[in-house]
Amino acid sequence: MNKYNKFHVLTLIFISVVINYMDRTNISVAATSISEDLALTPVDMGIVFSAFAWTYSVMQIPGGMIVDTVRVRILYPFILIAWSIATIVQGLVSSLAAMVGCRMIVGAFEAPSYPANNKIVTQWFHERERASAIAVYTSGQFIGLAFLMPLLALIQDWFGWRGLFFLSGVIGIAWAAVWYFLYRDNTEGRVRAIPSSEDSTENLNSCPETESISWANIRLAFSNRKLWGIYIGQFCLGSTLIFFLTWFPTYLAEYRGLGDLKTGFLASIPFIAAFFGVLCSGFSSDWLVRRGYTNEFARKTPVILGLFLSGSVVAANYVDSMAAVTFFLSLAFFGNGLASINWVFVSLIAPRHMVGLVGGCFNFIGGLSAVIIPVAIGFLVQDGDFRPALILIGGLALTGVCSYLFLVGRVEEISFSESESEKVIA
């Protein structure tokens, strides 16, 4: 397994993540124009923002199970084309119900994408390389949006919000074809199997690449304290992320009084900060592992520190200058990026035959933040005051700190014996 192959695979995932998040967040760029054209209230827009996550969350567990059974080379192009078509259709709608329906379809077909990303990295990268690999592809959601926010704002300025959806969908369909022709499933190794150059003598794992769907496995995935620790942490991390992906441009445009184009450029700054946060976290975490530090320290420290820094979003309530507002929001999103390697805990903790399923459960709980938070913010900002919303986001970030400190415990693979399985099934 050579370095070129790993770089090749990681590049494909990175670009896929950029397109994934483009189709999630183009709605936030278009929100002000959509609300004006379709006469939608803040609560209506909260529902539109949330609709994506209704199906995205519900489909996480089935999506994870599908990832465990279907070849990624076939699965990824299929879901890319499906959610891209739904994105194009968003540019044709003229009612709240139709917009909500399209967002639900996008969410349903994007659901297997992150469990698939995690499975690919688990197959292709040695354990001591995975945090760096996860950091690189996760950075796509930040650096991609850092550049896309201004670009999407310009596209909307030129072609309107409907044109924005058309172009986004066409890009996704084109990338599906590229993925199919360039990606190859790893046939030399299996989950947790790829040895690094330093570990050339390590035995390949004989665990099968796919696992049949089992309700017993679902019971197991929801019966362990460690797993609940990372699930809750993902919910809290997702709450900060979903604010920036949905309400943040509206916060700048309406609460801080900026125009659409200026909002697009200013909104890119926190995403750049998050990009540096996730890369700093991933590479430093793997470096600490190589230096002999335990997983408890090397993996948990960036995540806990990042969630703590995310709580600084509350400070934006107490400053008036845009420079200070931008600083605190960027610091909070830097922290979110720092904590975004938390996907590494799925590959380190999950039983080796349940990586896709646990990834689905992990993202299901995290996805609930995208169901709840946009609507909650919509109610909180009805009078035009965003301060309660930022307090909510900051409080959840600190809750995530507690989850990793008190629930996750020792970072090691969970091993379920046959007798334990029988007890859970009984």
Question: Using one digit for the tens of pLDDT, what is the confidence trace for 71-101?
Answer: 888 899 999 999 999 999 999 988 999 999 9
pLDDT value for 214: 66
Model pLDDT, residue 363: 76
| Domain spans, the chain | 3-188+214-425
Mean pLDDT is lowest, of 121-125, 194-198, 380-384, for 194-198
Give the span between the Cα atoms of 364 and 111, in whole angstroms: 9
Average pLDDT value for residue range 295-311: 86
Percent of the chain beyond pLDDT 70? 86
Average pLDDT score, the chain? 80
pTM above threshold 0.75: no
What is residue 200's predicted lDDT score, i.e. its pLDDT? Answer: 32
CA 134 from centre of chain: 11
Name the packing angle between helices 260-290 and 295-310 (round to 10°). 160
Give the span between the Cα atoms of 267 and 253, in whole angstroms: 10
Q: Does 138 have pLDDT greater than 80?
A: no
Examine the pLDDT at 374 and tell me if it is beyond 80: yes
Query: Span 255-260, mean pLDDT?
Result: 67
CATH 1.10.10.60 corresponds to the domain 3-188+214-425: no
Q: How far is residue 403 from each of residues 155, 345, 367, measured CA to CA in Å?
A: 41, 13, 17
* 131 pLDDT more than 70: no
Rounded CA-CA distance 194/126 in Å is 5
Question: Position of tokens 């209230």?
Answer: 41
